[in-house]
Chains A and B, each alone.
Chain A
Amino acid sequence: MKNLVILGAGTAGTMMANHLHHHLKTPDWNISIIDERDKHYYQPGFLFLPFDIYTPDDIIKTVDEFIPKDVSLIKSRVDKILPEENKVQLADGKQLDYDVLIIATGAKISPEETPGMGGEEWQKSVFDFYTFEGALALRNKLRDWTGGNLVVHITEMPIKCPVAPLEFAFLADSFFKNKDMRDKVGITYVTPLSGAFTKPKATEALTHLLDEKHIRIESDFAIEQVDNENKQIIDYGGRAIPFDILVTVPTNKGDELMDRSGMGDDLNYVPTNKATLQSKVYPNIFVLGDASDIPASKAGSVAHFEAEILTDNILHFVKGEPLSEEFDGHANCFIETGNDKALLIDFNYTHEPVEGSFPFPGIGPLRLLKESRMNHMGKLAFRWIYWNVLLKGTHIPFVSANMSESGKHYEKALNE
């Protein structure tokens, strides 16, 4: 019997278990998935929790319920990958052999990378919303906050879901308007990028929205430290931005397991072929989702598209066939813009987000790069899709893993 081992039972790992158990069956194959956690969080919901739009119950389920019965779920911390020996070593010293290894250990925040960020103001006036605990603490703070300077901040790229901090700023604008206290709150968006977003076309649309909502933008801000005493963030050039509440996205890093195993780059991401999702060093190791270093967005939609392609590639690999180099970096993201509206963007390695309609060319019903209520309904409906369709590895009808070019108004991405 051969062994396929998946590290991480988050969005990406769970989808792979659900895809592969249909194809790699006993007695020829045994599939195991290893994760120490009990809870599976719907991470896009962390954006809504601080504004009391979702409750904790909406976004938490158990890891077990999404793992197929014929896949062994091993609840353990992984101590080390021994890639030269094709083994994984668990926390208790036990070793597991693998023929194929899938790394889906994700990315997480590392506030300790920035001096002062995890200091005495952490979860008092300095918050993250990329963890359940952070989003919940922020919800409690916002419930009875009486106003002041709200600073929404990105430490450095890449981060999971690069649009989430913008959405946070838009939703905050809406939230305080609804509470009739928008005039008591100044919102500043602070980014290390030169503009609102990484892609020029989308930046134009998003900058317009920031202006419209009176959200100030501070760009090219490379943070040096959080000054807890004076409640300000300071960049390397000496620029200081005061805050009453700082909502920051700390540096994101891959799992420390990669550092312990000598397999990661300087941010613990695993060097990965961006088309095949195969490790650049070990042919029987594949990487998907936030754990890899490919130049695609770190987002659930990307992991979803990757999972479909990686399933094919793993089946090719176990049959000794050449891999099909297919993944095009496809990402498809709703961007909440407040007041029950949202934008939708669709892009890949080479194409910028553009205007048009999705998923049916010329029809929609969703509009790309334009605010609409329908897009917002799409974003809310996505939670149901996530739990009931996406994690189970069921194909979402009409949405292909590679990006469709019809019905869209294209210009090639710059810098390509």
Chain B
Amino acid sequence: MEKVIAGKPITVNEEGYLTDFNQWDEKVGEAIAAENHLSLTPRHWDVIRYLQNEQKNQVALSIRRVGKSGVVDIRELYSLFPNAPLKTATKIAGIPKPASCI
């Protein structure tokens, strides 16, 4: 489906995750963050860039892995993105929701 984010038509899935990372830019990230009642600080951006980079390298994302990344510990991750941090942060970063292992 299509949704207007930061004044641009963007393709998202039913949960609101971008399906094409090429449509993402920082303005889109900020707009999604605002929908989630967050305003992005430099620390948020550190996490978002880290997640985008991991996604580019096809590393499976998990809270454990982020916590051991050296970028942010889990406690800070929760304070930056409350409730379900990885789900919120990946949505803002324009990358897929992490597939939970089965």
Query: Interface of A with B (CB < 8 Å)?
Result: 156-158, 162, 192-194, 198-199, 220, 222, 224, 236-237, 266-267, 295-297, 331, 415
- Quick one: given A237-B83, A266-B68, are A222 and B63 in contact (CB under 8 Å)? yes
Chain A residues within 8 Å of B97, by CB: 415
Q: Looking at the complex, which of B3-11, B33-41, B70-78 is the stretch in contact with chain A?
A: B70-78
Q: How far is the CA of A267 from the CA of B67 in the complex (A)?
A: 14
A236 lies within 8 A of B77 (CB)? yes
Chain B residues within 8 Å of A296, by CB: 102
Q: How far is the CA of A193 from the CA of B102 in the complex (A)?
A: 11
A237 lies within 8 A of B100 (CB)? no
Q: How distant is B54 from chain A, measured CB to nearest CB, in Å?
A: 13
A198 lies within 8 A of B62 (CB)? no
Chain B interface bracket (under 10, 10 to 19, 20 to 34, 35 or more): 20 to 34
Q: Of the candidates B75, B82, B84, which one forms a contact with A194 in the assembled complex, judged by CB atoms under 8 Å apart? A: B84
Q: How far is the CA of A343 from the CA of B70 in the complex (A)?
A: 43
Q: Of the candidates B62, B85, B87, B96, which one forms a contact with A156 in the assembled complex, judged by CB atoms under 8 Å apart? A: B62
- Quick one: given A156-B64, A415-B96, are A297 and B102 in contact (CB under 8 Å)? yes
Q: How distant is B22 from chain A, measured CB to nearest CB, in Å?
A: 19
B65 lies within 8 A of A266 (CB)? yes
* 27 A-B pairs in the complex with CB atoms less than 8 angstroms apart: A156-B62, A156-B63, A157-B62, A157-B101, A158-B101, A162-B102, A192-B100, A193-B100, A198-B100, A198-B101, A199-B102, A220-B87, A222-B63, A222-B78, A224-B75, A236-B74, A236-B75, A236-B77, A237-B83, A266-B65, A295-B99, A295-B101, A295-B102, A331-B102, A415-B96, A415-B97, A415-B99
Chain B residues within 8 Å of A162, by CB: 102
Chain B residues within 8 Å of A295, by CB: 99, 101-102
Q: How far is the CA of A267 from the CA of B60 in the complex (A)?
A: 13
- Quick one: given A158-B101, A162-B102, A222-B74, are A194 and B63 in contact (CB under 8 Å)? no
Q: How distant is B43 from chain A, measured CB to nearest CB, in Å?
A: 16
A251's nearest neighbour on chain B, judged by CB, is B64
B97's nearest neighbour on chain A, judged by CB, is A415
Chain A residues within 8 Å of B100, by CB: 157, 192-193, 198
Q: How distant is B60 from chain A, measured CB to nearest CB, in Å?
A: 8
Q: How distant is B95 from chain A, measured CB to nearest CB, in Å?
A: 12
B62 lies within 8 A of A237 (CB)? no
Chain A residues within 8 Å of B101, by CB: 157-158, 198, 295
Chain A residues within 8 Å of B74, by CB: 222, 224, 236
Q: How distant is B67 from chain A, measured CB to nearest CB, in Å?
A: 9
Chain A residues within 8 Å of B102, by CB: 157-158, 162, 198-199, 295-297, 331
Q: How distant is A385 from chain B, measured CB to nearest CB, in Å?
A: 23
A349's nearest neighbour on chain B, judged by CB, is B102
Chain B residues within 8 Å of A331, by CB: 102
Chain A residues within 8 Å of B75, by CB: 224, 236
Chain B residues within 8 Å of A194, by CB: 84, 87
Q: How distant is A69 from chain B, measured CB to nearest CB, in Å?
A: 37
Q: How distant is A117 from chain B, measured CB to nearest CB, in Å?
A: 15
- Quick one: given A157-B100, A415-B99, are A236 and B78 in contact (CB under 8 Å)? yes
Q: How far is the CA of A5 from the CA of B13 in the complex (A)?
A: 47
Chain A residues within 8 Å of B64, by CB: 156, 266-267
Chain B residues within 8 Å of A415, by CB: 96-97, 99
Chain A residues within 8 Å of B63, by CB: 156, 192, 222
Q: How far is the CA of A162 from the CA of B83 in the complex (A)?
A: 23
Chain A residues within 8 Å of B87, by CB: 194, 220
A220 lies within 8 A of B96 (CB)? no
Chain B residues within 8 Å of A236, by CB: 74-75, 77-78, 85
